[in-house]
Structure 1
Amino acid sequence: MPGVSVPRISKEDLKKRIDEGTSPTVVDARLKYPYEHSTVRIPGAIRFNGDGPMPAFPRDRDVVVYDSDPSELASSHVAAVLIRQGFRASALKGGIAEWLSANLPIETKDAPKQAPPEPGALKG
């Protein structure tokens, strides 16, 4: 399959579009461990990392995909999948780390629940 050129969007441009009411569909494509061990996401983000069925993204809106990798590897992969499906997709430059470092809006999500200790495991 030929490579797809994935455009990038800056955190400033994404924030501006959100503020102006022209918000794209935002997709959280972080890998399993970084996603599950984080308690934050970009507001309104839909979880999709390329595995499993694709959510029904609106086709009349751009899609911005982010991950936790400063090189946007996972988000670029997911954005390429979406582009091949006919979506107008881009990757967020610098991922969620850049978004967080600029103190841009976030929303909280559930953290992983720790399994209770095995019976007798805490005996000294």
Structure 2
Amino acid sequence: MWDSFKKLLGLGPKVPRISPKEAQEKLRQGAVLIDVRTPLERKLSKIPGSQGLPLAELAKRWESLPKDKPIICQCESGSRSQQAAEFLAEKGFEAYNLAGGISAWQAAGLPVKKGDIKR
């Protein structure tokens, strides 16, 4: 209950929101990009080099992430990834949220791998 109260007051960890260009630079320097969308969303499109770790599984699998590298969280628009980045920051990670998610990444002209799902 205290954690919920802290979040309401904005007392939780402050996680930086970074632009796609800033994220790209951090990735060049060794950061890890975690895609917290669902597996189906990742089949439709994904950022090359990203690792899939759905938000629903993060609480069970966060310990598999490297503690010695910055973690950039990404979703479709930046909402779910904000939750993921805050969770990881609480666990001691250097975490960032990709502002605008994969949509902003693509709008910035950065590479996105499209899936082959037939509609």
Could you tell me the TM-score, scaled by structure 2's length? 0.75
1:54 paired with 2:78, answer no
Structure 1 residue 13, shift from structure 2 partner: 1.0
Structure 1 unaligned runs (5+)?
Answer: 115-124
After superposition, the C-alpha distances for 1:35-82 in whole angstroms (9 at most, x for unaligned) are 15x52211221112332321511111100011112xx22011011111
Give 3-state SS (helix, strand or coil) of 2:105's partner. helix
1:107 paired with 2:116, answer no
| Structure-2 change in CA distance of 1:57 and 1:10 (3 Å) | same
What is the count of residue pairs matched by the alignment?
A: 107
Structure 1 residue 4, shift from structure 2 partner: 2.5
23, 26, 33: which is aligned to 1:26?
A: 33
Deviates more, 1:102-111 or 1:54-63: 102-111
CA RMSD of aligned residues (A): 2.3
| Structure-2 change in CA distance of 1:4 and 1:34 (3 Å) | farther
Identity rate, percent:
27
Highest CA radius of gyration, 1 or 2? Answer: 1
In proportion to residue count, which structure has more helix?
A: 2
Measure the CA separation in 2 of the matches of 1:5 and 1:49. 22
Q: Is the 8 A contact 2:72 2:97 kept in 1?
A: yes
Could you tell me the TM-score, scaled by structure 1's length? 0.73
Structure 2 unaligned runs (5+)?
Answer: 7-11
Q: Which runs of 4+ in 1 moved over 4 A?
A: none
Within-5 A mapping of 1:28-43: 28-30=35-37, 32=38, 35=41, 38-43=43-48
